[in-house]
Chain A
């Protein structure tokens, strides 16, 4: 699904609308005011809430909530999960984009639709499917138990569920990008005698590096912040199978609001950093594709 509509938009060249085609000054003022109010209430207010609540008991409490062993364990698991899910999904995105954009074959549209599938699945269902596949009651559950392999209520389940929800991110950035770049550059390299891996590294990669990075950053943000899917498979064992979002939930449900928001502020910083990186990359990608057109 165009689930996350994040394709880099062309530069910020806002068209200069001629005077007779715009609204009277007062209407413009009202509309801008209303828009700012909306953004203020819907988006800025939650951000301010996180900051004020996190610091409501002072800096000492804020820092100690972050230094809790359980918070650190949750941070480690979150980083580990992203460190596995993001590279694997990036590799998949590269392979899928290469196959789909450099060759013609039957069933292409079906494949593209299937890649988008995880965006259409509720996070809770994304976790559920792995419980049904690997849980104690499942077909292979008894075998896994006999061999002492823990997937559900353990780190592997968390990683799998995260891989599922972040599955399309890199692929859906790269497919349109590589589609628009065509195959001429690569074909020329092959004619000049370059081989497989070299063609990719020397010709393709420089053309797509910013798009790849863009997809990876979005993939990472979702991987570190995923809640619903991970919540289903984690089992909520403190210090062991809690990621940062799950740790926030536990603190919040125990009425440790300041601590919950302190941990939440970390993830908020990640979100803001992601947005900034995203805007910077959009400028680069827009610039790059303009160069490509000329």
Chain B
């Protein structure tokens, strides 16, 4: 079959590299993921439904979804601001700031987790400012959201930045010549071009946030029904040897991420086809 699908190209190594790719992919990714699906199939449909709709599980999904949605929403504005300033303006230290944007990708999540908890705890640098106002940041959903904002920041910046860089200034020029105010030409000319990367960045940040563990688990406080995120509940179920239940909770989490992933891929393919057509 390989020989048949092989093209006119005379390069060597097709069977070897494709064979290794498929083998390694199967061993490391596909078979273990299949084990997860099989394990959750150990439950009957009724048990499965009871597991994932159990009050504590439902509360954890709700918390994970709401905190990562709101964090990703905040990331849209923070990301747009940072991308704009980095692409359009010059200021001292710009390169360093640009490099620092990727820190949340590079910093191990456990390090981020304990650092953020220390900052936002009632006696921390920022937590102590809000404590007198009666606002609790660490050990509350607000703290979870802030940790997810940290994790999600690079996603929006790095999807918007290249688009903003490539943006032709012709239309802006025309708008300016026609006497449009800056703000108006931003809204009417620039922003529409950025909607697609902003949404992609939003979806990426959301998908990452919903499964995030390390940076959240320290700051969340982990109170069942209140500040217990879905990934943590999986670990709790594992520690109680409830393997099938852990698998069931995980499958729902996986499905949410896969739907997001497919949506992003679909949207990107569509927008790249559109820009190719132009």
Asked whether A and B interact, the reply is: yes
Contacts from A to B (Cβ < 8 Å): 1-6, 9-10, 12, 14-15, 17-18, 20-24, 27-28, 31-32, 34-36, 38-39, 41-47, 49-50, 53, 88, 91-92, 94-96, 98-100, 102-106, 111, 113-118, 120-125, 128-133, 135, 137-138, 160, 163-164, 167, 183, 186-187, 190-191, 195-196, 199-200, 218, 221, 224-228, 231-232, 244-246, 248-249, 252, 257, 260-261, 264, 267-268, 270-272, 274-276, 278-279
User: Most chain-B CB neighbours within 10 Å: which of A36, A39, A113?
Assistant: A39
Minimum CB distance partner of A41 in chain B: B126
Q: B103 to A271, Cβ gap below 8 A?
A: yes
Q: B102 to A278, Cβ gap below 8 A?
A: yes
Q: B238 to A95, Cβ gap below 8 A?
A: no
In the A-B complex, the 4 residue pairs with the smallest Cβ-Cβ separation, listed nearest first, are A122-B211, A225-B108, A228-B213, A227-B214
| A131: chain B residues within 8 A (beta carbon) | 238, 243
Q: B103 to A125, Cβ gap below 8 A?
A: no
Q: B162 to A9, Cβ gap below 8 A?
A: yes
Which of A46, A92, A248, A260 is the one whose CB lies under 8 Å from B119?
A46
Q: A164 to B81, Cβ gap below 8 A?
A: no
Q: Quote the shortest CB–CB distance from A20 to chain B (angstroms).
A: 5
| A221: chain B residues within 8 A (beta carbon) | 106
Q: B36 to A264, Cβ gap below 8 A?
A: no
Q: Quote the shortest CB–CB distance from B273 to chain A (angstroms).
A: 14
Q: Provided the pairs A227-B213, A228-B231 are in contact, do residues A122 and B253 lie with their beta carbons within 8 angstroms?
A: yes
Q: Provided the pairs A46-B116, A99-B18 are in contact, do residues A31 and B81 lie with their beta carbons within 8 angstroms?
A: yes
Q: B231 to A122, Cβ gap below 8 A?
A: yes
Contact of B125 with A by CB under 8 A: yes
Beyond A17-B88, A17-B169, A46-B116, 9 additional contacts (C-beta under 8 Å) are A2-B204, A5-B159, A6-B105, A14-B87, A23-B182, A96-B21, A103-B9, A191-B10, A270-B108
Which of B21, B214, B258 is the one whose CB lies under 8 Å from A99?
B21
Q: Provided the pairs A196-B12, A228-B214 are in contact, do residues A125 and B21 lie with their beta carbons within 8 angstroms?
A: no
Which of B7, B107, B234, B261 is the one whose CB lies under 8 Å from A268?
B107
| CB 8 Å contact bits of B78-119 with A (1 = contact, 0 = none) | 100110111111110011011111111111111111111011
Q: A125 to B111, Cβ gap below 8 A?
A: no
Q: A271 to B107, Cβ gap below 8 A?
A: yes
Q: A132 to B10, Cβ gap below 8 A?
A: no
* Whole-angstrom CA separation of A281 from B187 in the bound complex: 36
**Inter-chain CB contacts under 8 Å: number:** 323
Q: B231 to A133, Cβ gap below 8 A?
A: no
| A200: chain B residues within 8 A (beta carbon) | 13
Q: B18 to A42, Cβ gap below 8 A?
A: no
Q: Quote the shortest CB–CB distance from B103 to chain A (angstroms).
A: 5
Contacts from B to A (Cβ < 8 Å): 2, 5-7, 9-14, 16-18, 20-22, 24-25, 28-33, 35-36, 39, 78, 81-82, 84-91, 94-95, 97-116, 118-119, 125-126, 149-150, 153-155, 158-159, 161-162, 165, 169, 172-173, 176, 182, 200, 204, 207-208, 210-214, 218, 231-232, 234-235, 238, 241, 243, 246-247, 250, 253-254, 257-258, 260-261, 264-265, 268
Q: Quote the shortest CB–CB distance from B244 to chain A (angstroms).
A: 9
Q: List 11 A-B contacts (CB under 8 A).
A: A35-B97, A46-B115, A92-B24, A104-B9, A105-B2, A105-B7, A117-B29, A135-B243, A137-B241, A248-B114, A264-B111
Q: B234 to A39, Cβ gap below 8 A?
A: no
Q: Quote the shortest CB–CB distance from B51 to chain A (angstroms).
A: 14
Q: A120 to B260, Cβ gap below 8 A?
A: yes
Q: Quote the shortest CB–CB distance from A160 to chain B (angstroms).
A: 7
User: Most chain-B CB neighbours within 10 Å: which of A28, A228, A272?
Assistant: A228
| B105: chain A residues within 8 A (beta carbon) | 4, 6, 218
Q: A130 to B11, Cβ gap below 8 A?
A: no
* Whole-angstrom CA separation of A105 from B2 in the bound complex: 8
Minimum CB distance partner of A129 in chain B: B32
Q: B107 to A225, Cβ gap below 8 A?
A: yes
| B155: chain A residues within 8 A (beta carbon) | 5
* Whole-angstrom CA separation of A91 from B23 in the bound complex: 13
User: Most chain-B CB neighbours within 10 Å: which of A24, A138, A271?
Assistant: A271
* Whole-angstrom CA separation of A113 from B263 in the bound complex: 12
Q: Quote the shortest CB–CB distance from A260 to chain B (angstroms).
A: 6
Q: B150 to A46, Cβ gap below 8 A?
A: yes
| A132: chain B residues within 8 A (beta carbon) | 32, 35-36, 39, 243, 247
Minimum CB distance partner of A226 in chain B: B108
* Whole-angstrom CA separation of A132 from B39 in the bound complex: 7
| A199: chain B residues within 8 A (beta carbon) | 11-12
